Amino acid sequence: MTTRTTTMQRPQKYYLKNICNALYYLGVADCWYEIRDVKYPIMRKVYSLIANVFGIIFIANGLAAHFTPDLTFKEKNDLLIYSYGFPAITLKVIIVYVRKEEIKMFLKKLVEDEEFDESAVKAAKLVIKTMIITVYSVSAVQMSVGFKDYFVEDIPIRIEVLFFPRETDTGHLVNTIRVLGVIHFWYMICVMTAVECLCLCALVFIRFKFIRIRVFFEEMEKIPFSSELYEKRFVKGVELYKKTLWCAHNVQKAIGGVYSVQIVESLSLLVIFLLRIIYAGSDMMLFLVSLSSYLFMVLLTGLYMMYSANVSYEALQVPTAVFHCGWENVKIKAGLRKLIVVTLQQSQKQIHMTAFGVINLSYETFITVRFGLLSKTLKVSTMFL
């Protein structure tokens, strides 16, 4: 099947495959279930090793900067953010790599034999566009601070705060490392974007699977069927429902760890960004960078929690649709009657996306975390003002 055919007939598969390709070419992991035609497998492994070692070395270089005694106030703030952000991204990468076989199995079940759903595709495209535009806009704002420092204060362009080289160091090696530092920043941004898009698109497609099942059973009530046709259609609906329940449960096993890391990362960085906004003072550039970063973290956390809540909500609508699917209007056999009862019983189990298996990702949790952090941060800030 050509790429164009895949795009036209099964766009859900097309988008998820491209996200997995991005992770593959970034050296993270091969999460796609179809076999790849790799001409030079050894070179591929070497490239992946180099990419990951490159990332780890610069993260370690940044963490070592905590032992630098002469950092400015701004550098300390930047260092604190990257000390939380980049290790969190690395932990997400580790989770994806360790769970890649589970992810392959999950994606195959999610998209294989899936019918075209225009609403699901539009929602996935919106998520991907939102992530790309937001992430790279915020990153560009941070990059502009480096250019401002270079032209105004004659400070070498840098985004990350590193142990080596320092501001006063010069030389070809130093300049090369500074350039590699900028490359590392954008590399981590690309990895983060790909991982988040994979997780969010999975939630989007699961949500619309439940919507499709609800509509499927609702239509059964409106269309008159003979007993045999009704039984066949009901069994088909149960098979679809069973497959969707499998996806909803196994998305937690495959990439649920990413949700947990995201919650910890959000709680940490939202507080830091709020404090930076409060203490920015007359530094308009610092204020803009802090505000844009804060809004991005609110958006990312909101996307995770709201799309997870949408999955729970749509799954909750299925039992009602099954109960009102018109089974009372046709003469049904004893076997089908038992199947209907079992389906109704199984559908009563609520589905929740969770972090650490205990924190429900929902609208309520998002609002509670959002305003709880805001109030506590304001209380802390008043103690030092």
Digit-coded pLDDT (tens) for 190-211:
999 999 999 999 999 999 999 9
Check residue 204 and give left, alpha or beta (phi > 0: left; psi -120 to 50: alpha). alpha
Digit-coded pLDDT (tens) for 225-237:
788 888 899 999 9
Which tokens belong to 108? 């195959």
Average pLDDT of the residues in 159-172: 88
On whether the CB atoms of residues 68 and 166 are closer than 8 A, the answer is yes
Beta strands in the chain (DSSP E): 354-355, 359-360
Position 91 confidence tier, pLDDT thresholds 50, 70, 90:
very high
Give me the chain's average pLDDT, please: 89
On whether the CB atoms of residues 251 and 347 are closer than 8 A, the answer is no
At residue 260, what are phi and psi to the nearest 5 degrees? Answer: -65, -45
Position 377 confidence tier, pLDDT thresholds 50, 70, 90:
low
What sections of 3-117 are H helices per DSSP? 3-9, 11-25, 41-64, 73-98, 100-111
Q: If you ran DSSP here, which 8-state letter would residue 356 be given? A: T
On whether the CB atoms of residues 177 and 165 are closer than 8 A, the answer is yes
Query: For the chain, what percent of residues have pLDDT higher than 70?
Result: 95
On whether the CB atoms of residues 24 and 30 are closer than 8 A, the answer is yes
Among 276, 376, 284, residue whose Cα is nearest residue 73: 276
Which residue has 């008159």 as its token pair?
A: 224
Using CB atoms within 10 A of its CB, is residue 384 exposed (0-12), middle (13-18) or buried (19+)? exposed
On whether the CB atoms of residues 27 and 48 are closer than 8 A, the answer is yes
At residue 359, what are phi and psi to the nearest 5 degrees? Answer: -95, 110
CB atoms within 10 A of CB 172: 7
Q: How far apart are CA 217 and CA 237, in angstroms?
A: 7
Count of domains for the chain: 1
Digit-coded pLDDT (tens) for 100-142:
999 999 999 999 877 778 899 999 999 999 999 999 999 999 9
The per-residue b/e assignment along 361-372, b for 16 or more CB within 10 angstroms, e otherwise, is bbeebbeebbee
Q: If you ran DSSP here, which 8-state letter would residue 329 be given? A: G
Range of the domain at 254: 3-384
Largest CA distance in the chain: 86
Digit-coded pLDDT (tens) for 244-273:
999 999 999 999 999 999 988 988 898 889
pLDDT at residue 72, as a whole number? 83
Q: How far apart are CA 199 and CA 375, in angstroms?
A: 30
Sign of CA dihedral 130, 135, 138, 140: negative
